[in-house]
Amino acid sequence: MTPASAPATPSPWPARLRGLFGALLSLALTLLGLLFVTFIISRVVPIDPVLSIMGQRASDAQIEEARIALGLDKPMWQQFLIYVWNVLQGDLGTSIGSGEPVLQAVSRAFPATLELATLATILGVLAGVPAGVLAATRPGSLADQIVRLVGLMGYSMPVFWLGLIGLLLFYGILDWVGGPGRLDAIYDMQFEMEGMSRSGMILLDTALAGNWEMFSNAFSHIILPAALLGYVSMAYISRMTRSFMMNELSQEYITTARVKGMPEWRVIWVHAMRNVLVPLITVIALSYAYLLEGSVLTETIFAWPGLGSYITEALGRNDMPAVLGGTIVVGVAFVTLNLLSDLLYKLVDPRAR
């Protein structure tokens, strides 16, 4: 009598393909919703795009001709389809103020924000995660109180006030850092004349070019706004890390590991942190996305030519194509980071696979 054959193990690929299809469908619907919202905003604001382009002295015939050329004479559903098709082709419209394509202007402004937000997030994570773990492992202690107080100050203090105080103290009085802008004027001219702008991120470009003197100057300019934003990010990350870690340290598997005589550092940084990482990834991604949105006040105070400054200036001159184009880029950044955080879940936690 032959033994019964073992049941065949089902292939994981159908489930993975369904998961991939669901993620892509969710991404497409989210982006479509974003485009729909920006399209509706462009149609309900009390600013006539034709008059903004042609000017008040244009004749009725010229205005009507421009309206037809822009497709504004078509039904709304056709206008929306045209709008979506143009965005998919990389056409975010033309700036009313400068007359250049919005995508071209955003591509110049976004790398400055990306560089600032990335460095700020790195500083926030390097300071916030250990601070949160320290507070969680010593609840009620002096260290816990200090971490909570520093986090509360980061939430409570206005960003523009911190920026002004930082400039006054570290630039005006102590002269430890560079002033507003990304480079000193002489280095700024050299950077443009030598054509070192490849990625738009000065730290990366000067490092690749081997110009360490200019790299040092760029670092002296970025470190203060990055530390300021990193402090705000650290306040949020440390608070959430403390909450997540305290919840994990109260679980039974942590008690079991301690009873078995496992070293405390391994209990915290290996076993507990492994489960804390999953929700912590979301916290860090949201913090990073918030900074990529463009910290308007910080960029304004430090004369940082980033996306936040670009959108603010466009709002000031009623340049709606520029505002909406920047908004689309911000939305795409949020959606992309959300998708990346989902992928990181699967790498960190096998149960998510």
Render 178-220 in DSSP notation, one character per residue: --SSSS-HHHHHHHHHTT--SSS-HHHHHHHHT-HHHHHHHHH
* One domain for residues 134 and 272: yes
% of residues, the chain, pLDDT over 70 = 88
Q: Contact, 167 vs 224, CB < 8 A?
A: yes
Q: Is 284 helix (H, G, I), strand (E, B) or coil?
A: helix
Into how many domains does the chain fold? 2
Query: 177-218, pLDDT tens digit by residue?
Result: 988 888 888 888 888 777 777 788 999 989 988 889 999 999
- Give which of 293, 251, 295 is closest to 276, Cα–Cα: 251
* One domain for residues 110 and 64: no
Structure tokens at 244: 């997540």
* One domain for residues 119 and 208: yes
Domain that holds residue 72: 26-88
Q: Is the model's pLDDT at 53 over the cut of 70?
A: no
* Residue 93 within a domain: no
- Alpha carbons 321 and 81: distance in angstroms, whole number: 17
Q: Contact, 221 vs 178, CB < 8 A?
A: yes
Q: Is the model's pLDDT at 54 over the cut of 60?
A: yes
* One domain for residues 43 and 151: no
Indicate which CATH number applies to the domain containing 240: 1.10.3720.10
Q: Is the model's pLDDT at 297 over the cut of 70?
A: yes
* Residue 12 within a domain: no
* Residue 142 within a domain: yes
* One domain for residues 64 and 206: no
* One domain for residues 288 and 233: yes
* Residue 74 within a domain: yes
Average pLDDT over residues 221-241: 93
* One domain for residues 244 and 221: yes
Q: Is the model's pLDDT at 99 over the cut of 90?
A: no
Q: Which of residues 59, 88, 117 is at a domain's end?
A: 88
Helices (H), 95-201: 102-137, 142-156, 159-166, 185-193
